[in-house]
Structure formats: C-alpha cells, structure tokens
Amino acid sequence: MRTLSECQEIINQAFLEMNLPEEPANLFDPLRYVLRLGGKRIRPSLVLMACNVFSETIEDAIYPALAMEVFHNFTLVHDDIMDNALLRRGRPTVHTKWNRNTGILSGDAMVIKSFELLTHVSQGFMPELLALFCRTALKVCEGQQYDMDFETRKEISLDEYLKMIELKTSALIAASLKTGAVIGGAGKNDAEHLYEFGRNVGIAFQIQDDYLDLYADPLIFGKNIGNDIVANKKTILFALATQTAQGKVKRELMHWLESKEFNRIEKINAVKAIYDKLGIREQIIRYIKHYHETGVSHLKRIAVSESQKDELLKVSDFLLVRNE
C-alpha cells in the first residue's frame, strides 16, 4: 500500500509535469505560482490512497486527484480575496502579488481546469464522478457563504457551525476519498463508507483546527495563539460558549465580543477563562474524538483486509494528533 508521503510525491511530480499554456501570462502564471506553493496535498493523496485500497494500480486516479487539489487551491485564491488575506503558506496571496482582478480571473481558470482534469476519468465513471464533483463544489461555495454570513452574526448554534464546516471543509475530503474508491473499483457500500470516513474525519480535523488556535503549544503551532478570539471568529469554541453560557458569564462573554477597543492579551485571557468555566476545552476534545472514532468505524466496515486500510488509518491519526 502506498503511504501518504509516497502519494504526496506522486502528486507533486504530476504537478511539475502538468502542461499549462504560457500565454496569457497574467492568467497562467498565478496558477503555476499557487500550485507550486506546496501544501500538504491531503485531498489528492486521499484520492490515490482510496483507490489503492481497492486496486493495485492507481494511475487512473492521478488526474482526478489533481482535479481535487486544483479545485481546493481555487477556493483558497478566491477566499483570500474575500478575506483580504495577505499571506498564504507564508507567501504573498495571488491578489497581493498580482492584483484583485488577476486573483478573480485566475481563480476562475482554476475551477475550469479542475473540471478539465476530472474529465480524464474513463467514460463509465464519468457521470457518477462528475455529479459528485459538481455537488461537492457547490457545497464548498455554500459553506464559504455561511462562513461569511456568520461574520455579521452575534451568535451561532453548534448545529449551524457543524453544517458550515461540513460544507466548507469536509465535503471535499469525503468526495476525494469516494472518487478514489470508485476509480479503484469499490462497491457502492464500500465507497459510501469511505465517504463517511472522510466526512467525519474532515469535521474532526476542522474542529481541531479551531481548538489549536487557542490551545496549541505556540512553539509547535508556529503562530500566535488566540487569533480567533481577537477576531470574534465563529469557531466551535465560540458556538459552544455562546450557546452554553448563561447569566453573568454570558454577559461577560458578550461584553468581550462587543468591545471595539481592547487589549489583545487581556481579551484572549478573559475569554479563555470563560471557556474554562464552561468546560469548553473538554467538550471540544470529546467532539474531536467522537467524529474521529465515527470516521474510523466506517473505515473498519469496508470489506477488504485490515492491512489494506492501514495507510488511511495512519492518515487520520496523522491529521488528528498533530499538536498534542
């Protein structure tokens, strides 16, 4: 079975060999730039690994794998414009390095390119995989829209949060796994179990991302702690806290959320203390564990030998114990 790092290598190599037109340079240079910024190549690697669970050869899964990564990178380019983000993976974002219009248009070219890459699957799989990809791509847009809608909201419920991250993050991870499974020749049930594995692990992964923003070891995490609190970002911590807090604690929480002028460290410490009172950290660890275990239970139910699932199991463990 191919390991994650073997699959990452295959993907990086395939991107190096991918032909993109030279002209117009202002359209295709940003594509080359973004696709060579790196990243962990999780989604395309999952396509290959899922295929590999059911098939020794994984060559047919390479183009669809690239499709997932190009689509994912398209969302990053456009999200960075919407969020006015200056940096991505430590380098200038496309709209910063070029300009906003170039970011919009080269993002458009990327989403089209992702569909083009997907059309390299064999004709028999095409209707199913295209329908899945379209449905998933639209979900990602819906998730981004909910995320933007949340910015102007005072409170969000846990259910709203979970729906948003399922759309924005975990749908594409799940679809990557299912796409690989279908190409590898998985039966309907097995493909669905891999989808559910990805959907649940994807949710756990995103919850962990929120968790780490506050509770990670800053030396390992490599960035400041508490940015989400400073920005009132609608994370699962935020959702659980606004939903759980009552009386005086709730008023104190809302005071901090509504403050326009505050000391950064003071706000982080105050909100963190409220989270502690409410037992948010423990709740979140339970949620991560729950979704992780649910995901793995789907992996276990796939009708192949355990050794064939080992590498995927390792990926989910790798994704979910990064910093503890």
- Which residue in 18, 37, 85, 141 binds a copy of itself (CB under 8 A)? 141
For residue 106, the minimal CB distance to a copy of itself (Å) is: 8
- Which residue in 146, 205, 215, 287 binds a copy of itself (CB under 8 A)? 146
126 versus 220: smaller Cβ distance to a copy of itself: 126
131 versus 273: smaller Cβ distance to a copy of itself: 131
Write each residue from 14 to 33 as x if it is in contact with a copy of itself (CB under 8 A), else as -, in one continuous string.
-------x--x-xx------
Binding of a copy of itself by 159 (CB under 8 A): no
Number of residues that bind a copy of itself (CB under 8 A): 35
- Which residue in 5, 57, 145, 227 binds a copy of itself (CB under 8 A)? 145
Structure tokens at 134: 């379209």
Binding of a copy of itself by 160 (CB under 8 A): no
- Which residue in 86, 131, 265, 304 binds a copy of itself (CB under 8 A)? 131
- Contact at 8 Å (CB) between 208 and 170? no
Q: Among residue numbers 51 through 110, which ones bind a copy of itself (CB under 8 A)? A: 78, 81-82, 101, 104-105, 107-109
For residue 133, the minimal CB distance to a copy of itself (Å) is: 8
CA distance 126 to 255: 53
138 versus 273: smaller Cβ distance to a copy of itself: 138
Cis omega before residue 24 (within 30°)?
A: yes
- Count helices and strands in the chain by DSSP H and E runs: 17, 2
For residue 287, the minimal CB distance to a copy of itself (Å) is: 24
DSSP label of 321: S
Q: Residue 291 to residues 128, 198, 201, 221, 271: CA-CA distances in angstroms?
A: 27, 10, 6, 22, 26
261: left (phi over 0), alpha (psi -120 to 50) or beta: beta
- Contact at 8 Å (CB) between 80 and 135? no
1 versus 104: smaller Cβ distance to a copy of itself: 104
CA distance 302 to 297: 9
Sheet strands (E) in the chain: 87-88, 91-92
- Contact at 8 Å (CB) between 50 and 184? yes
116 versus 317: smaller Cβ distance to a copy of itself: 116
- Which residue in 72, 88, 113, 234 binds a copy of itself (CB under 8 A)? 113
- Contact at 8 Å (CB) between 73 and 225? no
- Select the span of 48-56, 142-150, 212-220, 311-319 touching a copy of itself (CB under 8 A): 142-150
127 versus 247: smaller Cβ distance to a copy of itself: 127
123 versus 305: smaller Cβ distance to a copy of itself: 123
Mutual angle of helices 280-300 and 188-215, in 10-degree steps: 160
Query: Counting beta carbons within 10 angstroms of the beta carbon of residue 12, is it exposed (0 to 12), middle (13 to 18) or buried (19 or more)?
Result: middle
Contacts of 48 (CB under 8 A, 6+ apart): 2, 7, 10, 11, 58, 61, 62, 65, 180
For residue 74, the minimal CB distance to a copy of itself (Å) is: 8
- Which residue in 19, 123, 246, 307 binds a copy of itself (CB under 8 A)? 123
Residues at the interface with a copy of itself (CB under 8 A)? 21, 24, 26-27, 78, 81-82, 101, 104-105, 107-109, 111-113, 115-116, 119, 123, 126-127, 130-131, 134-135, 137-138, 141-142, 144-146, 148-149
